[in-house]
Chains A and B, each alone.
Chain A
């Protein structure tokens, strides 16, 4: 995929995810939207690594230019972090569902 196309797709994913985060009232939908947005940010880092006519950043694939390996290293870290974040927040959603019997933001926000 071309660098520009990947960047455009990444930004579209971020927009879509954030739109879901803001519009949906269900917490699980919100978290899914957030995860799509985070995935977009990660894809954006991959797009940044793009160099024209380069092969993937693996040593045996040379000669010739390779894609920038540094953003790929960052992407690995970011994926792990987002996995941990999503998993932990879902645990809290389970907890709230058991206690408050609702996943609706407006209900959860009522004073108790």
Chain B
């Protein structure tokens, strides 16, 4: 345990020292090295322990989810660092602090400690999204902070209700009490906790702040937000489902966010906002996995890491494309990308479409193994939809004549993504069946067919505004609390 806590402390201290030291990226690089050393020392995990030593303190534990998130956060931080290495000012210290806070979040097993780390994550990402000072990004960032604060206020009420009834904040003590939802305070409290974490995590209809914030941030920030930060809400939801009987709610939210994000992604024309809607959609896989628990939860851990890698790659390639051409619309970017960017985008698309042997395929295989047929059908439908929405990226994959310098961030992520996929593939003999490959290829082809069918359709989707997002989040929270009260 002390190694992991030490790693977090060193990360945060280096983040603060980074404000004083030049070059600005140096402390970030040192923090990544320290985090890697700490991870190597505490892997493969440690049992739950109370930090503080007097019996009063914060519970922490290192489980597979924490392990995967640590590895992902370090790789993604390295990529973002490399891509944004020339950025002056407070950018790198803030980024280091943000990643350090994420490392702390995944270790925590305490309702209130999770609240504090989530708030810190919100504040730091809020600063980073608006960092460049473009008014569209600043507005997206303000929307993000307002909605995240709404979510955290609901979460705090939930903490109060659960603590008032059960008298503890430690998730494992709550799980040991085995609370049903029969007590109204626990039922409403659980509803508010889940709603708060869902708003913070960008789950569809709760956290509609996510697409503009992720879409309009700078490249490095988009990468970190979509690959790591967005998972923090999911981590909290997964922890909640370990302590309180909210698994079925997570599955329902997962289906909602899977298809909701997908519908918007299908018709979005801005490349980065399109990828952000996809993040919303892909949260569905994770929530379904964590909601079902057992082997599916392990599959969801794998998928969280895999998604972080390929979404990070897609965002960094998209960011490079937008930085060099000055165009954001997908249709205007065709045939204009330099080859490293196009290759990055192609590998990312291949992985997110779930084609073998990359990480998208293996993690989806781990997630769907042993699921019942209806659930499997939902996941297959999501895959087909994902492939369909990515079909419009295909014209971008033909490299154009213009050459550019690659930042190296793309290359790191390609190597890690392919390596992770091949390692996972080698360790899962059940994936070597022809049927699985045919299934994956069929899904991708079906998706392309769906794209051709839908190409002429242009529905008018409701525009997402701050007021609408707030109202649907609040109504959703009330519905969740009322639903759990009714179920209990």
How many angstroms between the C-alpha atoms of A60 and B216 in the bound complex? 55
Tell me, yes or no, whether A53 is within 8 Å of chain B by CB. no
Contact among B119, B157, B474 for A44, CB-based, below 8 A: B157
How many angstroms between the C-alpha atoms of A100 and B149 in the bound complex? 24
**Residues in A neighbouring B146, C-beta threshold 8 A:** 21, 30-31, 34, 89
Nearest Cβ on chain A to B470's Cβ, whole angstroms: 6
Tell me, yes or no, whether A37 is within 8 Å of chain B by CB. yes
**Residues in B neighbouring A70, C-beta threshold 8 A:** 163, 169
How many angstroms between the C-alpha atoms of A108 and B145 in the bound complex? 15
**Residues in B neighbouring A112, C-beta threshold 8 A:** 135-136
Tell me, yes or no, whether A22 is within 8 Å of chain B by CB. yes
Tell me, yes or no, whether B405 is within 8 Å of chain A by CB. no
Q: Is the CB of B467 within 8 A of A22?
A: yes
Tell me, yes or no, whether A56 is within 8 Å of chain B by CB. no
In the complex formed, the residue of A with least CB distance to B156 is: A41
* Per-residue interface assignment for chain A, residues 62 to 91, with 1 indicating a CB less than 8 Å from any chain B CB and 0 otherwise: 000000001100100110011011001100
Question: For chain B, what secondary structure do more than half of its interface residues adopt (helix, strand, loop), or is it mixed?
Answer: helix
Tell me, yes or no, whether B420 is within 8 Å of chain A by CB. no
- Chain A residues 15 to 31 lying within 8 A of chain B, measured CB to CB, are 18, 21-22, 27, 30-31
**Residues in B neighbouring A88, C-beta threshold 8 A:** 123, 126-127, 145
How many angstroms between the C-alpha atoms of A71 and B465 in the bound complex? 36
Nearest Cβ on chain A to B281's Cβ, whole angstroms: 24
**Residues in B neighbouring A99, C-beta threshold 8 A:** 135, 138
Known: A41-B156, A45-B160. A85 touches B145 (CB 8 A): yes
Known: A44-B157, A71-B163. A81 touches B141 (CB 8 A): no
**Residues in B neighbouring A74, C-beta threshold 8 A:** 112, 159
Q: Is the CB of A34 within 8 A of B150?
A: yes
Contact among A89, A95, A105 for B466, CB-based, below 8 A: A105
How many angstroms between the C-alpha atoms of A79 and B391 in the bound complex? 48
**Residues in B neighbouring A34, C-beta threshold 8 A:** 146, 149-150, 153
**Residues in B neighbouring A89, C-beta threshold 8 A:** 126, 142, 145-146
Known: A71-B160, A85-B149, A89-B145. A21 touches B135 (CB 8 A): no
Q: Is the CB of B119 within 8 A of A109?
A: no
Interface bin, chain B: 35 or more
**Residues in A neighbouring B138, C-beta threshold 8 A:** 92, 95-96, 99
Nearest Cβ on chain A to B295's Cβ, whole angstroms: 36
In the complex formed, the residue of B with least CB distance to A85 is: B149
How many angstroms between the C-alpha atoms of A42 and B119 in the bound complex? 15
Q: Is the CB of A14 within 8 A of B467?
A: no
How many angstroms between the C-alpha atoms of A26 and B449 in the bound complex? 46
How many angstroms between the C-alpha atoms of A89 and B141 in the bound complex? 9
Nearest Cβ on chain B to A102's Cβ, whole angstroms: 11
Contact among A22, A48, A108 for B164, CB-based, below 8 A: A48
**Residues in A neighbouring B136, C-beta threshold 8 A:** 112
**Residues in A neighbouring B135, C-beta threshold 8 A:** 95-96, 99-100, 112
Tell me, yes or no, whether A57 is within 8 Å of chain B by CB. no
Q: Is the CB of A41 within 8 A of B142?
A: no
How many angstroms between the C-alpha atoms of A14 and B145 in the bound complex? 17
Q: Is the CB of A48 within 8 A of B153?
A: no
Tell me, yes or no, whether A9 is within 8 Å of chain B by CB. no
Nearest Cβ on chain B to A61's Cβ, whole angstroms: 20
Q: Is the CB of B139 within 8 A of A108?
A: yes
Nearest Cβ on chain A to B112's Cβ, whole angstroms: 5
Known: A18-B474, A85-B123, A96-B138. A109 touches B466 (CB 8 A): yes
- Chain B residues 98 to 128 lying within 8 A of chain A, measured CB to CB, are 112, 115-116, 119-120, 122-123, 126-127
**Residues in A neighbouring B139, C-beta threshold 8 A:** 96, 108-109
In the complex formed, the residue of A with least CB distance to B122 is: A85
Known: A22-B471, A92-B142, A112-B136. A41 touches B149 (CB 8 A): no
Which of B127, B133, B153 has the most chain A CB atoms inside 10 A of its CB? B153
Nearest Cβ on chain A to B213's Cβ, whole angstroms: 13
- Chain B residues 321 to 364 lying within 8 A of chain A, measured CB to CB, are none
Q: Is the CB of A18 within 8 A of B150?
A: yes
How many angstroms between the C-alpha atoms of A22 and B156 in the bound complex? 20
Q: Is the CB of B157 within 8 A of A14?
A: yes
How many angstroms between the C-alpha atoms of A99 and B383 in the bound complex? 42
A residues adjacent to B (C-beta < 8 A)? 14, 18, 21-22, 27, 30-31, 34, 37-38, 40-42, 44-45, 47-48, 70-71, 74, 77-78, 81-82, 84-85, 88-89, 92-93, 95-96, 99-100, 105, 108-109, 112
A-B interface, 8 closest residue pairs, ranked by CB to CB distance from nearest: A41-B156, A48-B164, A99-B135, A48-B160, A44-B160, A41-B153, A81-B119, A92-B142
B residues adjacent to A (C-beta < 8 A)? 112, 115-116, 119-120, 122-123, 126-127, 130, 133, 135-136, 138-139, 141-142, 145-146, 149-150, 153-154, 156-157, 159-161, 163-164, 169, 465-467, 470-471, 474
7 pairs, CB–CB < 8 Å, chain A vs chain B: A22-B467, A22-B474, A44-B157, A85-B122, A85-B149, A92-B141, A99-B135
